[in-house]
Chain A
Amino acid sequence: MDFDLMITSFPKLLGATVVTLKLLSASLFFGLFLGLFFAILRLNKNIFINNFAYGYSYIFRGTPLLVQIFIIYFGLGQIEYLRTTFLWIILKEPYWCAIIAFTLNTGAYTSEILRSAFQTIKPGIIEAGKSLGISNKIIFYKIQIPIAIRQSLPAYGNEIILMMKGTSLASTVTLMDLTGVAKYIISTTFKPIEVFIVAGGIYLFMTFIIHNVIKYLEKKYSFQQ
């Protein structure tokens, strides 16, 4: 055991954790909106819209995240037309490519989580709202969405942790996130176990925090108080 290496690599890895957290928070933020959008499309009765939303979630849940990042980072640059548009400013940066891939991926999972949450809402609750003369729009925003958020909290907590692990793939497109820096230190010092303990410890700490925050929120928003 090389404790000196563990101590000297800790600040470097902690610095890289900031990149990981930035990637995670950006993709979760955009992914939540995307997920909500597609969950609403899934509830639509129009079969084309419904199938479109289903296809999106099927494709992004059925392929590895690594393929998705590679298609966006290496693949999209190949289209000549894209290079002339303003989109190229975003797509030439690995940072934004990673965020786009993570957003699309987590959006697919989030849409499934929210869809099942919407479907578990008892029809009686919506009928009660209607009989009180509340408009459909308000029923949706003030009744269905809050209940769906509460219902989906445990599953969404898992999704946050999965996404946190997913951000490690940013290191494959030259981003120096926690895993990227850990790999760099391992490949220069050839001491994998020490670095794994430090980097893994940081990841576990983040998992622990996320887990407890979700648990707290679940308790706070539970129906029986």
Chain B
Amino acid sequence: MELLAFGKTGWGDELFYATLMTIAVSITAMLVGFFFALIFTPLKLSKYKTLNLVGNFYTTVIRGVPELLVIYLFFFGGSGAIMYVASIFGYYEYIEINAFITGSMAIGIISGAYSTEVFRGAIQSIDKGQFEAAKVLGINKFGQFYKIILPQMLRLAIPNLSNVWQITLKDTSLISVTGLVEIMRQSYIAAGSTRDPLFFYSFAAVLYLLLTYVSMKLINKLEARYSRGY
């Protein structure tokens, strides 16, 4: 137990901050994913074949390629790409992107592909009459989407989004390969310096279980809130 003490003697505080880091990366990645979903869901639902193709390409490629490979692409290619863009604007110094941004971008793009599929499914399962009724009542496009489609869509999307959240949370463990100090990386460091990998990796597993358990409880509450009236 003294291994988990807070302060200089134990790894308690380090693991606590690492847990916060995991939560921060997961939330950032989820938001980045929503941003991508916001772009690609309309593309997948569009009438135009070319736009459909772009949307399908994104979700198919990201969901068919291992997460680790995407992370390596961002880790090794990220600063190169930024430097290339910067060189167009006449900036030739070396730019290093921090591991947090690389990691949450990589995981965000992955989680975005899953979110896109969830939103597409949810919008498609809304009754066509709802769109028509809104139009007939003379509600403008903005009101149609925010007041009528979105609340109904969220109710349908939340159970599946909770799955996406669980996947995203577990995927953040892979960012440890880039050196970002989250639960997995911190356990690796602690296991290396105390020569007690069994304890620290098992503790990491417990932390992840705790995170998935707590988020499950919170999402259930949210789900109840959005399905009130049903």
Contacts and interface: CB of A to CB of B under 8 A. Distances in A.
B77 A179 contact: no
Contacts, number: 113
Given A67-B173, A71-B205, A78 B198 contact: yes
A28 B212 CA distance: 25
Nearest to B216: A62
Given A59-B209, A71-B202, A200 B69 contact: yes
Contacts of B61: 200, 204
Contacts of B73: 192-193, 196
Interface of A: 58-59, 62-68, 70-71, 74-79, 161, 164-169, 171-172, 179, 182-183, 186-187, 190, 192-193, 196, 199-200, 203-204, 207-208
Contact of B66 (A68, A78, A203, A208): A203
Contacts of A186: 72, 76
Main secondary structure of the interface of A (DSSP, over half): helix
5 contacts: A62-B209, A76-B198, A79-B198, A165-B65, A179-B66
Given A75-B201, A78-B198, A186-B72, A64 B66 contact: no
Contacts of B201: 67, 70-71, 74-75
B134 to A, nearest CB: 34
Interface residues of B, number: 37
Interface of B: 60-61, 63-69, 72-73, 76-77, 80, 166, 170-171, 173-174, 176-177, 184, 187-188, 191, 195-198, 201-202, 204-205, 208-209, 212-213
Contacts of B76: 186-187, 190, 192
A78 B197 CA distance: 7
Contact of A179 (B64, B68, B205): B68
Which residue of B64, B184, B204 has the most chain A CB atoms within 10 A of its CB atom?
Answer: B64
Contact of B209 (A63, A79, A171): A63
Contacts of A179: 66, 68-69, 72
A66 B174 contact: yes
A180 B89 CA distance: 36
Contacts of A74: 191, 197-198, 201
